[in-house]
Structures are given as structure tokens and as C-alpha cells.
């Protein structure tokens, strides 16, 4: 039978008398390192783990460090630490291990997303007196759980052709209607946590986001949704795809606006609308083109003399009438990068090329574009206009990701129900 042990409010207050210490002496620190705060199956969470994680939350969120704030943080911290243990245990059971390089790579990605050089975040934690290992452990749990989802849970996920067709048909029916680029921070109401405490903490995070803290960074650190790994990104969402409470909030938000905490069945969600557009809107940047281009070198050993550059410029503009001719000239007089370009999205081209071919008719020579080291000419050989609708593969990937998200959350709920969790502060 599952067993869950939770302490009284009196014991929580005692804990915060300990957690509130900002500079414990060495003897106390050593005691905290071995004092057991909770047991999750066969793994131990120490008081030092709890203290370190609370300090990490405070540093990364910028929320004022008070005893009251720490009291409100405790349920979230304990839930997060328990969930991390469950993730790591499940990975061990499935014989999945992470390499140190994977975890360090994830840490570097988080640093890059926050505009920090490699190693800067862990150094900052050390300078603040926070054990960097607490952040490393959090990232390790996320990394290994991602592998569990991909390598194990994905076996139970399948997407049918009919499901893909339903999505395409729905997008076609909604084409031109508004959709929203969303990101989320999700805080669950877990066993042992109070609704009011979670709501209060969610409100503080929302206020921090409105005050200028990067939403992506807050989501990576605090959100308990699988989207935390990608900064809370939900992608483009249109009417009918979210729970009713979230959808009502979504349609009221302006671009860049952060919502108040939204109560759903499983917890509180904070939303931010990063952008808005029409559903399946046709975009010239999504058009596919094949090209032929000629670069005439203007610097370096191969640089053309001014009179030769002028002569070739005039000849290219007046004599070339097809992509076949363009390719011949590219081979004869063009510098590096000259010649045919296979089918590519306009938006994926370098800016100079993109601007020159965005509205260029097929078979017409572009105006000369002077770029660093060369003069560029381009010709569109074929164009596939954007329909506005995603490809079958894109829809398949999205549906698969959504199903994996659902399976991941369900598996964590099951693991928690099945676990022996003894909180003994």
C-alpha cells in the first residue's frame, strides 16, 4: 500500500527557523548535510538539499528573501526535489544513464538563453554561497527524464494518419482566424502543498516576469511542466486547443502581456503571449525557392578590378535570361558560393539573398547587392508558394510531442502514487 507521511505546521515552522539562516556555521552545515528531510523510496533528501534549493529559487527569481517567502517556497521545493528523485529512480530502473557532457551541455544552453557566458551561472552560484550541485542535480533529473520519455514512454505513443488529417482539416477551417504564440509556467497542486501557497508563489513569479525577469529563465527554473526544458514554449495555439480557463485568459492577453495565475484542475498556470497572427497565415518567408546566384569577389586575391566588376555587372544584367545561363556564368566568373541552390525556404536564406529574391519573379535577374567581400546577383529558378498550412510531418511531430507530454505527466503522477515518501523534518 502507498504510504505518505506529512508533518504538522509546527514542524514546518521549525524547519524554516533553520532554513532562514543565511550563513550557518560549519558545524551546523555539516549537521544539515546529513539530517534527513525526506526519504523517497530508497533515496534521501537532506536538509542541506532543501536549503540549497530554496536559496537557488530565491537567487534565480529575484524574489525578496524573507522567512515568510521561504515558508511559501517549501511545498514547491519539496515537490520539486521529490519529483527529481522519482525521475532519477525511474531512469535507473530502465537502465538509462546520463553522461556528464549531456548535463553540462544543458547547463550551457540555459546560460546562453540568459545571455551568460559558459560557466558564468555556476560561478555566480558559488559566489552567492550556493552549492552549484543543487542546480546540476536539477538539470540532471530533467535531462535523464527527457531520455526516459524518448526511449521508454514513447513506445506507448502513436499518431495515426487520421489524427493528422483531422488537424490539417481543422487548421484549414480556421485559416485566417487568430492564434497565439504562448509560453507557460506550470505549478502543480501536489500532495502536501496548499492551494493558497502555490497561488501566492505563482503570483510572485508573474510579478517578477512583469518586472523584467526573462520569462524563459523563470520557466526553466520553476515550471513543473515538461515545457520547462524549452523555456515554457507551447508554440502556436488557436481556439479550442487549451483548457477553457487557459483559453479565456489567452484571448484577453495582449502581445508581451503576462497573465495572472490561472487555476486549472491540476494546478496554476502563468501564460505569456509572445506573438499573435492569423491561423495558417500565408507567409512569403515560408515560400520554397530554387536559385542560381553569382558572387563577384570585391576583396582578397580574387577581387575584380573596378572596370572588370562594372563590365561583368552590365553583362549579367543584360545578357542572362535563364537559370541555365546563370549557372554557366557562375561556373565561369563567379566566386565561392556561386551556382545553383536547391529548394530552400525564403526565410532560411541569408538576409541579403532573402531581401533580393523575396518578391522576385521566376526567371528575372535581381538587382546587384553589394555585401561583405562580393557583389551578389540572384535569379529564382522555381517557386512554391506557401499555403499557410503545416506539412504532414510537422503536424505528426506536434501531435507526438503533445502525446508525450501527456504520457510524461501521467507517468510522474503514477510514480508518486506508488512511491513510499516519508517526510521527516
Q: What is the CATH number of domain 176-279?
A: 3.10.50.40
Crossing angle for the helix pair 392-418 and 161-174, to the nearest 10 degrees: 110
Cell 524554516 found at: 16
Q: Please state the φ and ψ torsions of residue 408, each to the nearest 5 degrees.
A: -60, -45
pLDDT along the chain (425 residues), means of 10: 28 33 45 79 93 85 77 81 95 92 86 79 84 87 92 93 91 86 90 82 92 84 79 84 91 94 93 89 88 93 92 95 95 92 91 91 94 93 89 89 87 93 85
Query: Quick one: pLDDT at residue 61?
Result: 72
Query: Quick one: pLDDT at residue 125?
Result: 84
Topology of domain 3-152 in CATH is Triger factor/SurA peptide-binding fold (1.10.4030)
104-153 pLDDT per residue, tens: 888 888 787 777 888 888 888 888 888 888 888 889 999 999 999 999 99
Task: Identify the helix (H) or strand (E) that includes residue 181.
Answer: strand 178-188
Q: What is the CATH number of domain 284-384?
A: 3.10.50.40
Query: Quick one: pLDDT at residue 278?
Result: 84
**Whole-model pTM above 0.75?**
no
Written as one string, the DSSP assignment of 328-394 is: HHHHHH--TT-EEEEEEEGGGS-HHHHHHHTTPPTT-BPPPEEETTEEEEEEEEEEE---SSPPHHH
251-299 pLDDT per residue, tens: 999 999 999 999 998 899 999 999 998 887 788 888 999 999 999 999 9
Q: Same CATH fold, 284-384 and 176-279?
A: yes
- What does the domain layout of the chain look like in residue ranges? 3-152, 176-279, 284-384
Amino acid at each position: 500500500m502507498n504510504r505518505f507521511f506529512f508533518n504538522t505546521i509546527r514542524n514546518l515552522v521549525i524547519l524554516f527557523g533553520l532554513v532562514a539562516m543565511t550563513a550557518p556555521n560549519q558545524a551546523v552545515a555539516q549537521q544539515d548535510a546529513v539530517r534527513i528531510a525526506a526519504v523517497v523510496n530508497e533515496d534521501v533528501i537532506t536538509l542541506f538539499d532543501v536549503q540549497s534549493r530554496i536559496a537557488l529559487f530565491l537567487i534565480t527569481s529575484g524574489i525578496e528573501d524573507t522567512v515568510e517567502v521561504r515558508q511559501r517556497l517549501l511545498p514547491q521545493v519539496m515537490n520539486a526535489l521529490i519529483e527529481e528523485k522519482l525521475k532519477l529512480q525511474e531512469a535507473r530502473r530502465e537502465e538509462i544513464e546520463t553522461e556528464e557532457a549531456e548535463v553540462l551541455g544543458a547547463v550551457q544552453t540555459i546560460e546562453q538563453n540568459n545571455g551568460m557566458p559558459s560557466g558564468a551561472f555556476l560561478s555566480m552560484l558559488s559566489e552567492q554561497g550556493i552549492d552549484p550541485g543543487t542546480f546540476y542535480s536539477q538539470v540532471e533529473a530533467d535531462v535523464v527524464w527527457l531520455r526516459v520519455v524518448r526511449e521508454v514512454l514513447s513506445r506507448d505513443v502513436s499518431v495515426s494518419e487520421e489524427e493528422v488529417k483531422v488537424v490539417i482539416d481543422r487548421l484549414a477551417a480556421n485559416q485566417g482566424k487568430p492564434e497565439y504564440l504562448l509560453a507557460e509556467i506550470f505549478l502543480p497542486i501536489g500532495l502536501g502543498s496548499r492551494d493558497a501557497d502555490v497561488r501566492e508563489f505563482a503570483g510572485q513569479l508573474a510579478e517578477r516576469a512583469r518586472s523584467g525577469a526573462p520569462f524563459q529563465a523563470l520557466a526553466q527554473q520553476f515550471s513543473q511542466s515538461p515545457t520547462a526544458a524549452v523555456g515554457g514554449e507551447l508554440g502556436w495555439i488557436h481556439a479550442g486547443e487549451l483548457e477553457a480557463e487557459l483559453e479565456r485568459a489567452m484571448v484577453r492577453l495582449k502581445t508581451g502581456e503576462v497573465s495572472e495565475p490561472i487555476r486549472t484542475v491540476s494546478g496554476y498556470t502563468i501564460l505569456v503571449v509572445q506573438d499573435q497572427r492569423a491561423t495558417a497565415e500565408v507567409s512569403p518567408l515560408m515560400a520554397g525557392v530554387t536559385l542560381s546566384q553569382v558572387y563577384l569577389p570585391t576583396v582578397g586575391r580574387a577581387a575584380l578590378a573596378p572596370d572588370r566588376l562594372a563590365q561583368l555587372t552590365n553583362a549579367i544584367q543584360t545578357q542572362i535570361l535563364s537559370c541555365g545561363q546563370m549557372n554557366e556564368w557562375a561556373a565561369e566568373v563567379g566566386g565561392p558560393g556561386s551556382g545553383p541552390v536547391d529548394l530552400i525556404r525564403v526565410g532560411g536564406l541569408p538576409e541579403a539573398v532573402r531581401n533580393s529574391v523575396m518578391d522576385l519573379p521566376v526567371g528575372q535577374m535581381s538587382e546587384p547587392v553589394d555585401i561583405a567581400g562580393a557583389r551578389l546577383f540572384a535569379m529564382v529558378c522555381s517557386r512554391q508558394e506557401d499555403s499557410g498550412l503545416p506539412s504532414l510531418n510537422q503536424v505528426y511531430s506536434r501531435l507526438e510531442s503533445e502525446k508525450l507530454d501527456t504520457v510524461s505527466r501521467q507517468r510522474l503522477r503514477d510514480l508518486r502514487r506508488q512511491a513510499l515518501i516519508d517526510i521527516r523534518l
